[in-house]
Each structure stands twice: as structure tokens, then as C-alpha cells.
């Protein structure tokens, strides 16, 4: 099990009902983590409509997750 | 002889005094400001004075002429030095001649106080320790900090004539409003900053900034940039003011509802700062119009409220090699990104997830007014950083703000090798590519019409007559069906660039490859063709 700090932005925050949480997971990649979380929360956006950042850097969905890392899921927003 | 002047050479006080002598004056008062050796605890070695002369002279003249009228004195003048001054040297001189000493003293005091408060003059202090700094002269306005006060009382000792007003009467009767208000823009508060100074103010004055969207983000952007004295400020917005805008769009008033926002903004900004050349465009930013408008500006600021416009601004900025500041908000959150030539752009970060309707806008999900206010103020600041050539952490990154928790997060972004916006620029001829660091792989595809237009390509619709009638492409310059073009490509010259468009991008791609083999290297195919554009158009009009 690895410990991951997760942060949600915009519509994901609303759908998760929280802006951040620390979770225990067996998933190894950002994609697998999102898919796991999508079973828990009613996320309306697929991975292709989002970006993920690990430790404050945008990365690909196959990015490897390490214990204690910080993962941000973020959609683009349009309001102005 | 002007009531207020600047002098680059030492002042001749005797000549100045003589210029005020007249038989009707019974008194003369003067003030001299000298270069002092200490300011705010630091040892000063010498000083440099600089003024925004055109503006400062007018304001100075207004002050002196106003004082002559208000205090009913017979003559008054002020001369201020500019340039390098040694310790003890005379920096500013005020002289007043009047029938009685009271008016002379009062007018003299009033003039020097007003000059120090209102006239844009700055001094650079060079300290004994080798350091130096710009100081706004208003700081020296406090009486206790004044250099020296030499009052020469030449009053004849005669009976006071009460038909003349006492100076305190004059003060009491003086209009307290308009004449005390600065009548010209005063940038002293920002010029005092080490990162601005006189050079920075000149840069701001020379800057040309285009703001796309005059809404919640645009209102603070426009206000701050007009206040800062940006030389040319363009504002594009096709909307009319709605009452629901007013909680966040602070440029407008309730009685303006129904009028075009671009015009309302221009009116307000011209009143705020008549120095600024405000150019309103009452239209929506579109692929066929934005490149031509944007070509006239240095910095683009995206304050739109939809993805289509936001990506269009990005593409035009990348295509034309302009700098840009892009921001957006969602409820309590905001994102901001600064584009410099060669840095990561919006499409580097969001190559695919970009349809309106996926994530709500302000109308759909609600917003508190200060949220776009905060992000817009940040955009204005980022624009000023660009103008002042200060680097920003919002380059090659997306900076996220959660204004509910007040948390900030900077996510590092890198230029994507597959970025459609940058690829389109890469493919352009090397001679006019905006960023010479880009590779020149001459790939034959272009992602958007905006990029093609930004590159000045001539657009040729390759579809057959029936297809064109069914779904016309209005931006096309020519309609030449594929077979005819390949049969006779003499319509293409070698000096122009061409974008070929078909329904889905297959025929255009094949045509480009054939034409390039024939020597027409400056030909490109629109990825996805007209069908791809259709999806975009539906989004932009939703």
C-alpha cells in the first residue's frame, strides 16, 4: 500500500465533495488511481478531459506513483 | 516667461526675483529647496531629478496660475531643476510678489506644497554607501523635512488695507474640490518602485495591450492597465451589459444595462486616464477577425468566458509570437498562465480536453464577484511584469488559486512536442517564424484556421460544388475543387502560402503532398477539415 495525497480542482472537487484527501492505495499509476477514485465518486469527466500533475508537475497518465507523492487532478476551466 | 519651468542649469535667483518686481507689490516671498545630505537616516552624496516634463510643466503652470488667482498676488513663478545636483545646490525656487506680505507668504507656501504633491518629479538619491534609490518627491512635502525656507519680507510698513482679503480668508473661500484634485495622471506611486522607475513608465507608455472580454476578469485588467498608463489599450467584447454582470464587472453601472460593454468600458477608461488610447471593438473575437486586430498589439490578455475564445486567443498569440496572459475561474478557483514566445501554451497543457459545456462557466455554476476580480487583478499584474520585462512563475506553469482555502499551487508545464498550436508555427517558413528556437520540420499540417490566418495563408476550399453549397466555408479565399487544382496548379504562386481545406482533411493532405513534390513547399492541410471546424463552430455559438 502506498500513501498518496490527492487534490481535486473545479468540478472534480464538487463531485468528490472535498478539495483534498490522503488515501491508501495499491494502484501504481496516475491513470489507475483516477479509475479507482472514479468508482468512489460520481466523476463526470473522463481521463482524456483532465490533466494530472504529480508532485507539482504535469505528467502523463502512466506516471508512476510513489509513497507520499502529491497528485492533482484538474480540468480546464472557462469562467471569466 | 512661463509660470512654471524646468531648468537643466543652475538657477539665477537674482534674475528670477527681478522678473517679479513691479511697482504695485509691497512684498516678495520666496522659497528655496536645497539638496540635503541626509534623507530618512541615510547619508546622501548627490541627487538626480527627473520629470515627466510635458505633463509636469502643464500641471506646474496650472498650480502657479491657480495660486495667483486664489491669493490675488501680482506675480508668481516656480522653477525646478532637473539633472544631477550636488549637496547644497538649489533644487527648486518659488517666488511670489504681492501687495502685502500675508498673501505672498501664503501663496508661496501653497505653490511649493502643491508642486510637491501634484507634479510628477522624482529624485534618485545616491547614498554615501554606494547604493541609490528613486524617491517620490511627495515624500519631501512634509514641512519638517523641507530643505530650507528663506522668506524675504520686503513689506513696507503701511496700514493694512482691509479691502484686500487676508490670506486665511482666501483659503477659506477657496473652492475645496476641483482645484485641489490632480488634473493630470500621476504615476508617481508606481514610478517610485525600483522595478518601474522612469524607464519602466516609458515602457508602460509604449505598451499596446489587447484585452479579450470586458467582463469579470476584464474589468480589473482594464482598470489597472488604464490607471498604469498603458499607451494603447484594446478591448474586444460583443456583449451588451446585463444586470447579472454587475456583481463582478465593476466598470459598469445599473443605468448602463443594455449598452455594448466595449463602448461602456472605453468611456469609463478614457475618463479614468485620458492619456490612454482606448480602442473598443464591439464584436466577439472570431477566427477570421482576431488575428488582424491582435497584430496591432504586443500583449494579449484573455478574459473571455468560454473555451473556444480562450483557445483562439492562445492560438493567435502563438501564431503571431505575441505574449499573453490567460486566466479563468470556476466558483472559488482560478487558473492563470503566462505565454512568452517559446514557453508552454494552453494547448501544451490541454491538448484535447477543450469543449465548452464539459465544465461550467460563471452563468452555469455561479461565482462570487471578487473571484474573477482577484484573478483579473493578477492578470493585470502579470501584464505589467511582461511590459517591465520581469520574469514570472506563471510562465511554463499553470498557477492554481483556491480562494476558499487561500491555497496556491504552481504546476510546472513544459512545451509539448505534439502541441497543435506550436506545431502549426513550426511548420511555417523559417524566415517569419516568430520563435527561431522552434524546430523547422516543415510538417504539412495546420491545426486551426486561426493559425493559418495568423500566418497569412491564403485559404483554398478543395471540396466539390455540391459539398460547398451544403456547408459553405465563408473564410475561404478561393474555391478550387481538388481535381481542377491538381490538373492546373498555375493558380498557386511560389511567394504565397496556402492552406488547403476539404471535408475531413484527407484530400487536402494528399493534395499538399502532391503540390510540395511539384515545388509548392508553402502549402498546408487543415487537420480535420470543415467537419472539424463544424464541431468548433457549434461550441462557439452555444
Residue A7 banded pLDDT, cuts 50, 70, 90: very high
**Residues from chain B contacting residue A11 (CB–CB below 8 Å):** 330, 359-360, 365
Do residues B385 and B392 touch, judged by C-beta distance below 8 A? Answer: yes
CA B226 vs. chain centroid, Å, equals: 6
Q: Residue B427: what pLDDT?
A: 57
Per residue in B199-218, pLDDT (tens digit) is 999 999 999 999 999 999 99
CA distance B541 to B532: 15
Q: Quick one: B126 and B271 in the same domain?
A: no
What is the CATH classification number for the domain harbouring B395?
Answer: 3.40.50.720
CA distance A22 to A32: 16
Q: Quick one: B203 and B176 in the same domain?
A: no
The verdict on a CB contact (< 8 Å) between A11 and B405 is no
- CA of A11: which chain B residue's CA is closest? B359
Q: Residue B442: what pLDDT?
A: 62
Q: Quick one: B32 and B172 in the same domain?
A: yes
Identify the residue with better confidence: B152 or A66: A66
User: Is B306 touching A (CB cutoff 8 A)?
Assistant: yes
What is the CATH classification number for the domain harbouring B168?
Answer: 3.90.1170.40
Average pLDDT over residues A8-30: 94
Three-state SS annotation for B302-367: ECCCCHHHHHHHHHHHHHHCCEEEEEEEECCEEEEEEECCCCCCHHHHCCCCCCCCCCCCHHHHCC
Q: Residue B96: what pLDDT?
A: 96
Beta partners for residue B93, in sequence order: B32, B79
Would you say residue B45 lies in a domain? yes
The verdict on a CB contact (< 8 Å) between A79 and B303 is no
CA distance B138 to B120: 9
Q: With 60 as the cut, is the pLDDT of residue B525 above it?
A: yes
Per residue in B269-291, pLDDT (tens digit) is 999 998 899 999 999 999 889 99
Give the residue numbers spanning the domain of B466: 420-540
Q: Quick one: B132 and B158 in the same domain?
A: yes
Percentage of residues in chain B having pLDDT higher than 70:
83
| A-B C-beta contacts closer than 8 Å | 106
Q: Residue B175: what pLDDT?
A: 41
Would you say residue B191 lies in a domain? no
Q: Quick one: B171 and B235 in the same domain?
A: no
Q: Which of B185, B219, B249 is the last residue of a domain?
A: B185
For chain A, the distance separating the N- and C-terminal CA atoms, rounded to the nearest angstrom, is: 41
Q: Quick one: B10 and B100 in the same domain?
A: yes
Q: With 80 as the cut, is the pLDDT of residue B422 above it?
A: no
Q: Quick one: B126 and B27 in the same domain?
A: yes
- Number of Cβ within 10 Å of residue B82's Cβ equals 18
Interface of B with A in 316-335 (CB under 8 A): 327-331, 333-335
Question: Residue A76: which of B350, B413, B414 has the nearest Cβ?
Answer: B350
- CA of A49: which chain B residue's CA is closest? B353
The verdict on a CB contact (< 8 Å) between A57 and B360 is no
The full set of domain ranges for chain A reads: 2-74
Q: Quick one: B161 and B15 in the same domain?
A: yes
Q: Quick one: B406 and B424 in the same domain?
A: no
Cell of B374: 482577484
CA distance B154 to B306: 73
CA distance A45 to A29: 18
Would you say residue B307 lies in a domain? yes
Do residues B349 and A56 touch, judged by C-beta distance below 8 A? Answer: no
Query: Which pTM value belongs to this model?
Result: 0.56
Would you say residue B466 lies in a domain? yes
Percentage of residues in chain B having pLDDT higher than 90:
50
Instruction: Give the residue ranges of DSSP H helices in B207-333.
Output: 218-228, 261-272, 290-294, 307-320
| DSSP, res B39 | E
Would you say residue B143 lies in a domain? yes
For A2-74, give the CATH class: alpha beta
The verdict on a CB contact (< 8 Å) between B411 and A58 is yes
Q: Quick one: B150 and B86 in the same domain?
A: yes
Q: Residue B436: what pLDDT?
A: 30
Question: Based on the structure, what is the number of domains in chain B?
Answer: 3
Would you say residue B190 lies in a domain? no
How close, in Å, is residue A74 to chain B by CA atoms?
10
Beta partners for residue B67, in sequence order: none
The verdict on a CB contact (< 8 Å) between A9 and B333 is yes
Would you say residue B465 lies in a domain? yes
ipTM: 0.89
Q: Quick one: B372 and B442 in the same domain?
A: no
Amino acid at each position: 500500500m502506498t500513501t498518496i495525497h490527492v487534490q481535486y480542482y473545479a468540478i472534480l472537487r464538487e463531485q468528490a465533495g472535498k478539495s483534498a484527501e490522503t488515501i491508501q492505495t495499491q494502484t501504481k499509476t496516475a491513470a489507475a488511481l483516477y479509475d479507482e477514485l472514479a468508482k468512489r465518486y460520481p466523476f463526470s469527466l473522463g481521463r482524456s478531459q483532465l490533466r494530472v500533475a504529480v508532485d507539482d508537475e504535469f505528467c502523463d497518465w502512466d506516471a508512476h506513483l510513489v509513497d507520499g507523492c502529491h497528485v492533482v487532478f484538474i480540468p480546464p476551466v472557462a469562467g471569466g | 516667461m512661463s509660470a512654471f519651468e524646468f531648468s537643466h542649469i543652475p538657477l539665477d535667483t537674482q534674475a528670477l526675483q527681478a522678473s517679479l518686481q513691479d511697482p504695485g507689490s509691497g512684498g516678495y516671498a520666496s522659497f528655496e529647496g536645497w539638496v540635503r545630505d541626509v534623507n530618512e537616516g541615510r547619508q546622501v552624496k548627490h541627487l538626480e531629478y527627473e520629470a515627466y516634463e510635458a505633463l509636469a510643466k502643464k500641471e506646474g503652470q496650472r498650480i502657479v496660475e491657480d495660486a495667483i488667482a486664489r491669493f490675488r498676488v501680482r506675480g508668481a513663478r516656480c522653477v525646478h531643476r532637473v539633472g544631477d545636483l550636488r549637496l547644497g545646490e538649489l533644487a527648486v525656487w518659488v517666488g511670489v510678489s504681492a501687495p502685502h506680505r500675508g498673501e505672498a507668504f501664503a501663496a508661496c507656501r501653497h505653490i511649493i506644497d502643491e508642486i510637491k504633491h501634484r507634479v510628477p518629479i522624482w529624485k534618485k538619491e545616491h547614498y554615501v554607501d554606494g547604493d541609490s534609490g528613486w524617491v517620490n518627491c511627495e515624500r519631501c512635502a512634509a514641512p519638517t523635512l523641507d530643505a530650507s525656507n528663506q522668506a524675504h519680507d520686503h513689506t513696507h510698513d503701511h496700514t493694512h488695507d482691509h479691502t484686500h482679503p487676508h490670506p486665511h480668508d482666501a483659503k477659506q473661500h477657496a473652492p475645496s474640490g476641483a482645484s485641489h484634485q490632480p488634473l493630470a495622471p500621476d504615476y508617481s506611486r508606481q514610478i517610485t518602485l525600483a522595478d518601474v522607475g522612469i524607464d519602466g513608465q516609458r515602457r508602460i507608455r509604449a505598451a499596446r495591450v489587447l484585452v479579450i472580454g470586458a467582463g469579470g476578469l476584464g474589468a480589473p485588467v482594464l482598470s489597472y492597465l488604464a490607471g498604469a498608463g498603458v499607451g494603447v489599450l484594446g478591448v474586444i467584447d460583443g456583449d451588451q451589459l446585463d444586470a447579472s454582470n454587475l456583481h463582478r464587472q465593476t466598470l459598469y453601472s445599473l443605468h448602463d444595462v443594455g449598452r455594448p460593454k466595449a463602448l461602456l468600458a472605453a468611456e469609463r477608461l478614457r475618463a479614468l486616464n485620458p492619456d490612454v488610447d482606448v480602442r473598443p471593438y464591439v464584436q466577439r473575437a472570431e477566427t477570421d477577425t482576431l488575428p488582424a486586430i491582435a497584430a496591432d498589439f504586443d500583449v494579449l490578455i484573455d478574459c473571455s468566458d468560454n473555451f473556444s475564445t480562450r483557445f483562439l486567443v492562445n492560438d493567435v498569440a502563438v501564431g503571431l509570437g505575441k505574449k499573453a496572459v490567460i486566466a479563468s475561474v470556476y466558483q472559488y478557483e482560478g487558473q492563470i498562465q503566462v505565454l512568452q514566445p517559446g514557453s508552454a501554451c494552453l494547448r501544451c497543457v490541454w491538448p484535447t480536453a477543450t469543449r465548452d459545456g464539459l465544465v461550467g462557466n460563471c452563468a452555469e455554476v455561479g461565482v462570487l464577484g471578487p473571484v474573477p476580480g482577484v484573478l483579473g487583478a493578477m492578470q493585470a499584474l502579470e501584464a505589467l511584469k511582461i511590459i517591465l520585462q520581469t520574469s514570472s512563475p506563471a510562465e511554463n506553469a499553470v498557477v492554481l488559486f483556491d480562494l476558499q482555502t487561500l491555497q496556491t499551487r504552481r504546476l510546472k508545464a513544459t512545451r509539448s512536442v505534439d502541441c497543435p498550436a506550436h506545431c502549426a508555427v513550426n511548420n511555417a517558413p523559417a524566415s517569419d517564424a516568430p520563435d527561431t528556437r522552434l524546430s523547422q520540420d516543415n510538417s504539412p499540417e495546420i491545426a486551426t484556421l486561426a493559425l493559418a490566418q495568423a500566418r497569412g495563408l491564403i485559404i483554398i476550399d478543395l471540396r466539390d460544388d455540391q459539398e460547398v453549397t451544403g456547408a459553405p466555408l465563408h473564410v475561404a479565399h478561393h474555391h478550387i475543387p481538388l481535381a481542377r487544382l491538381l490538373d492546373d496548379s498555375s493558380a498557386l504562386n511560389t511567394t504565397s502560402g496556402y492552406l488547403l481545406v476539404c471535408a475531413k482533411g484527407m484530400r487536402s493532405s494528399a493534395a499538399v503532398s502532391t503540390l510540395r513534390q511539384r515545388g509548392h513547399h508553402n502549402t498546408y492541410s487543415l487537420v480535420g477539415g470543415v467537419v472539424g471546424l463544424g464541431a468548433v463552430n457549434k461550441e462557439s455559438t452555444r
